[in-house]
Structure 1
Amino acid sequence: MMDLVTRSIAKAQEWSDNARQYSTPYASKLLSQVLDHPGGLDYTVSFVDGVIRPEDEHVVAEKLDEMSRKDASFLPGYLSVLAKGGGRIAPVAPGLARTVATQLFAALVGDLVADVTPSKLGPTIAKLRADGSRLNLNLLGEAVLGTKKRAGGSPPPPSLFAGTMSTTCRSRSPR
């Protein structure tokens, strides 16, 4: 039994040593920093569900305005300023606020998030696997976390459930 423990520790140490040769992407560091904060997960889920996902710019503007009053001290200074300022201008310039918010989100964590619409998921997976990488994909949001994590606790729209089922039941992309 001790031999198994010793080999397991050695293997974990080998993985850790090998991982050090790769730099940690900024998006990963940022997400880790945000999620380490007690309010970070709720803020992030609320941002994705209320700002990134909705198509109506007025819904997005309302959510940005609401979020500008929340604690964002866990964000780097420049993002905190953008979060507060963007929320304040959102009611008067909803299209601009939505565009800036989605572009900034994509620039910061775009490599950690994939669009699961049928026309985009397959090509994204193929691109990520092109170098031989193996993927571990997870659905996030209220479909997984439950409606309590959804902004305001409101139930998800029926189309979200149907879309989630379509994504998870879709035949796998070629390996």
Structure 2
Amino acid sequence: MAVAFLAVGSTSDAFYIRMHGLVSEYFSGDGLKQVQVRLVKDSVERETKFTDGKGEYEIYLERGYDYQVWFYRKDLVPKYVRIDARDVPLFPDVPFYDMDVQVTLFTFIEKFDFELFDMPVGMASYKHSVRNLSWDIEYTERMRGETARVMVLYERAIGEMQKAKLAQQAAARRKKRKRAYF
């Protein structure tokens, strides 16, 4: 009986990584509700949660695993981050790590090349030198530049789609006009 009590007590004190944040819309900054936050642990999907009404989420990770955290909704372009917690020591200096990860998503459009987002938008791993999980800044900066380039093309494509839609609506209105013949 005492062994069971000790086992339960020790699990509540186990080290964890708390990952939380806001998933928002790229153009407006509004929180997106019902976005799937999928946790893939060592290449196996383990858990799926959904953002709340304000676009917020919270998940917990353990040390010793390589994670992908995907942000997905059917009408949006999915993105993911990679968290490599394999090198976190058995007894870290702190009882938990806190990761505030903000993600922006945007509407999927047909025939646009979203290949860039097949790669993680950010990568973090344990760094022994700072004894903490740290983001790969060099990778992030490289991705930031590539993402900015893709988003310029995306905004142009959206603008062209809007122009085409307005032209189509104007043509439809012209067809509906009653003609007066004199």
TM-score (norm 1): 0.22
Greater C-alpha radius of gyration: 2
Higher share in strand = 2
